[in-house]
Amino acid sequence: MRIWKSLVLAALMSGVAGIATAEEVVLNAVHFTPTQNGYAQSFLKFVQKVNERGKGVVQINVRGGPEVIPPIQQGAALKNGLIDVIDTPAGQFLELVPEGEVFSASTKTPWEVRENGGWDFISGIFEKKANAHLLAHVDAGSGFNIFTIDEPKLNHEGSIDWGSLKIRSSPLYRDFLESLGATVIVQAPGDVYTSLERGVVNANAYTVFGYASFGWDKFTKYRIDPQFFKTDVLVSINKTKWDALSPEAQKLLADTAIEYERESYDANLAESEKQAQAMIDGGQKVISLTGAGRDKFLAAATQASWARMTKRDPTNIDQLKKFFQ
């Protein structure tokens, strides 16, 4: 409660400062993972670039991560102006913007989506539904894996018995995992270590990138390939705050965001490969689905995303498919 009150006060003071002077604007920000996690570290690199280039114009003040605002609440906090900038996956605020799931369903790179008009289209939806101006789709390129405590056994189709798994999930891929026949428990990352330790779950779905920073690899010694979905981390700014910025500040933020979008894509892939090998070197074994089992797994992932988007709001589905598939 104290944290929330301080954020409200900071938002009010930020507004007063913006009226009183046209000098340097300070934007308060939060990220969705603990600071030691790779996603938070990546965001801090972006912040550093902005702050180095934006002296006297615009600065980003990082208030912290999920200990400040839980990830599932960060989208609403941004919409309501309690925070200025968030580094948060679209999957964490699907209740506000169901179409945000398109980032994880996409088969295109962020820059391809910018070039074909998709970025402007989805940004308009976020502005209307979440009062959010999208700056960048960062840390993209990689996908999610399922990690298990017990060794999965491949069946004649090249798949496994999904019904034997109790998988920790995020809201993003809950429907997909349920469609496989697994028991799904939605939990914030901060609760997963204890759940694995106590046997509440026997599997976990997450990216390779940042996985070991939570200590989960201590329990999950098996990784199931292939990956499903794509990472959907967005850097977003409150639309009202964005509109109040000077053209100079807007250009600096936009240019830096586009530059870092590509830089973080390449860095994510390289670091994911490095971290995957480190977990293998630590004893983790890769179990690869094959044949029909693999094909059905990937088809189910694609179907789950588009089906949920269509169910929640079919208005923009055809356009989204044109831009993102």
Q: Is the dihedral of CA 51, 141, 271, 30 positive or negative?
A: positive
pLDDT at position 17: 41
Instruction: Quote the pTM value.
Output: 0.90
Q: Rounded distance, CA 280 to CA 298, Å? A: 23
Greater confidence (52 vs 3) lies with 52
pLDDT at position 276: 98
pLDDT at position 20: 33
Pairing outcome for strands 132-137 and 233-238: antiparallel
CATH topology of domain 2-141+231-270: D-Maltodextrin-Binding Protein; domain 2 (3.40.190)
Pairing outcome for strands 203-206 and 166-169: parallel
Residue 117, sorted as left (phi over 0), alpha (psi -120 to 50) or beta, turns out to be: left
| pLDDT tens-digit series, residues 236-282 | 999 999 999 999 999 999 999 999 999 999 999 999 999 999 999 99
Q: φ and ψ at 68, to 5 degrees? A: -90, -55
Lowest model confidence (mean pLDDT) among 47-56, 141-150, 198-207, 304-313: 304-313
| pLDDT tens-digit series, residues 214-237 | 999 999 999 999 999 999 999 999
| Boundaries of every domain in the chain | 2-141+231-270, 144-230+282-318
Q: φ and ψ at 181, to 5 degrees? A: 105, 5
Question: Which runs of consecutive H residues, i.e. helices, occur in 173-316?
Answer: 174-180, 189-198, 239-244, 247-281, 291-312
| pLDDT tens-digit series, residues 166-178 | 999 999 999 999 9
One-letter identity of residue 137 = H
Confirm or reject CATH 3.40.190.170 for domain 144-230+282-318, answering yes or no. Answer: yes
Among 90, 115, 111, residue whose Cα is nearest residue 263:
111
Greater confidence (314 vs 23) lies with 314
- Same fold: 2-141+231-270 with 144-230+282-318: yes
Residues 86-112 have a mean pLDDT of 96
Reported confidence tier of residue 29, pLDDT bands at 50, 70, 90 = very high
pLDDT over 90 (residue 3): no
Q: How many residues does the chain have?
A: 325
State the chain's mean pLDDT as an integer. 94
pLDDT at position 23: 86
Residues 305-314 have a mean pLDDT of 94
